[in-house]
Chain A
Amino acid sequence: MKTRLLHIVLAMYLCVIGCTPETRVVDTRNDPGKAVIVLDYRDFAETASEMVQSMIGSGALNKPGGGRYVMTTGKIQNDTMQRIDTDQLMAKIEEDLLNSGRVVMTAAVGGKGAPDQMVYDTRDIRDSDIGTEFDPNTLPGKGRLLMPELSTSGKIIQKVLTYSKKEQQVEYYFQLRVTNLANGLVLWQKEDLIVKRGSKKTVAW
């Protein structure tokens, strides 16, 4: 009886092990994986690519008289039902904008606060008693920070529709604009759309 029970337990264990899909690293450069109803890394990569190509190609980032614009990322609103860190999109865009040779990004001012808090931490040290412990030549001087001239801002919108009895349609709108902070004029703007259809049983958040 004991042996029989042992065999059953062993059989069940082997079945569970055999049914568990093995963990594998995804080839993100050439991923033939199926689409998912929520936003995945491929959607962010595609959107970033299209946004950057449009932004650069428009000539809006060409500074009259030459040189590079100082740019920051303003507020990117996540108006979807998903918990999205908008940096997933903006980090890609910022990287390519930096490499484009047309802009420099500032880490002193941003829509979520300073992207690099160390800019202010070092100044706090400078202004405190501990500041005397540092070589004064290595402390940041006053009036050295540059205000951004351009800002990128935008919104990600999600809309869920009933497509049929069994299917739903989920629409994702990526809206982005570049604003000249000196005069408030919008130099460039684009909306990118990703639409997915899938089972109603799949949760879109």
Chain B
Amino acid sequence: MKCITHILLVLGALVLVGCKEQGDPRIHVRKDIRSDNVVDNYVTRPVAEAFSALAGWGIDIKRAVVITNEAGYRELHVDGFNRSASVRPFRYRVEWLDANGFVIDSQATTWLRASAMSRSPFSIKAVAPTTNAVDFRMDTMKWE
């Protein structure tokens, strides 16, 4: 049991080292193009992917910003990161709220598709249906 724990800890450390971004963070050079690391290596990759699945890594939301665009509508920009070793397709729905905190009824409020490549950043943009929108709430679900 102790041995398995040690192996998992070592693998975890290796994977974390492998995840370390190098160079300009705005440029993502994918595996098979960049130099191999522990995560991408042909031999160690299955282990890293198994660990990723075991650890339950998935989507992390890094930032959500609401601005008023030039057209006068509120615009939501969400930045996230997919920590898992596989592509994560998912659905999201943005509901816009008025000054009273009530949901603004709109046909645009529906589940939309999104997808994030493995260990990659992704962005989502949503535009409010009316100029009365003040705030938002966002929900996600698995894309079957």
Residues of A within 8 A of B (CB): 30, 32, 34-35, 42, 45-46, 48-50, 52-54, 56-59, 61-62, 92-93, 95-96, 99-101
**Chain A residue nearest to B110 in the complex (CB):** A45
Instruction: Report the Cα distance A149→B71, complex, angstroms.
Output: 19
B57 within 8 A of A: no
Set B108, B131, B141: member contacting A53, Cβ < 8 A: B108
| Chain A proximity mask over B99-133: 1 for CB below 8 Å, otherwise 0 | 00000001111111100000000000011011100
Point out which of B70, B71, B112 has the most chain A C-beta atoms below 10 A from its C-beta.
B71
Instruction: Report the Cα distance A53→B127, complex, angstroms.
Output: 5
Contact A48 B108 (CB under 8 A): yes
B81 within 8 A of A: no
Given A34-B144, A57-B75, A96-B129, verify A45-B107 contact (CB < 8 Å).
yes
**Chain A residue nearest to B129 in the complex (CB):** A96
Contact B112 A52 (CB under 8 A): no
Contact B71 A58 (CB under 8 A): yes
| Chain A proximity mask over B60-83: 1 for CB below 8 Å, otherwise 0 | 000000000111110100000000
Contact B144 A53 (CB under 8 A): no
Instruction: Report the Cα distance A62→B129, complex, angstroms.
Output: 14
Which residues does chain A contribute within 8 Å of B130, judged by CB atoms?
99-101
Instruction: Report the Cα distance A32→B52, complex, angstroms.
Output: 26
Contact B113 A56 (CB under 8 A): no
**Chain A residue nearest to B139 in the complex (CB):** A30
| Closest-CB distance, A146 to chain B (whole angstroms) | 23
Instruction: Report the Cα distance A52→B106, complex, angstroms.
Output: 10
Contact A46 B127 (CB under 8 A): no
Which residues does chain A contribute within 8 Å of B141, judged by CB atoms?
30, 32
Which residues does chain B contribute within 8 Å of A96, judged by CB atoms?
106-108, 129
Contact A49 B109 (CB under 8 A): yes
Instruction: Report the Cα distance A96→B72, complex, angstroms.
Output: 16
Given A45-B107, A92-B107, A96-B129, verify A59-B71 contact (CB < 8 Å).
yes
Given A50-B112, A52-B107, verify A101-B71 contact (CB < 8 Å).
no
Which residues does chain B contribute within 8 Å of A61, judged by CB atoms?
71
Given A32-B144, A50-B112, A53-B127, verify A62-B107 contact (CB < 8 Å).
no
Given A46-B113, A99-B130, verify A52-B108 contact (CB < 8 Å).
yes
**Chain B residue nearest to A194 in the complex (CB):** B113
Contact B107 A46 (CB under 8 A): no
Which residues does chain A contribute within 8 Å of B70, judged by CB atoms?
59
- 23 A-B residue contacts at CB 8 Å? A32-B141, A35-B144, A42-B110, A42-B111, A45-B111, A46-B110, A46-B111, A48-B108, A48-B110, A49-B108, A50-B112, A56-B73, A58-B71, A59-B69, A59-B70, A62-B72, A92-B107, A96-B106, A96-B107, A96-B129, A99-B106, A99-B129, A101-B130
Set A48, A57, A99: member contacting B127, Cβ < 8 A: A57
Which residues does chain A contribute within 8 Å of B126, judged by CB atoms?
53
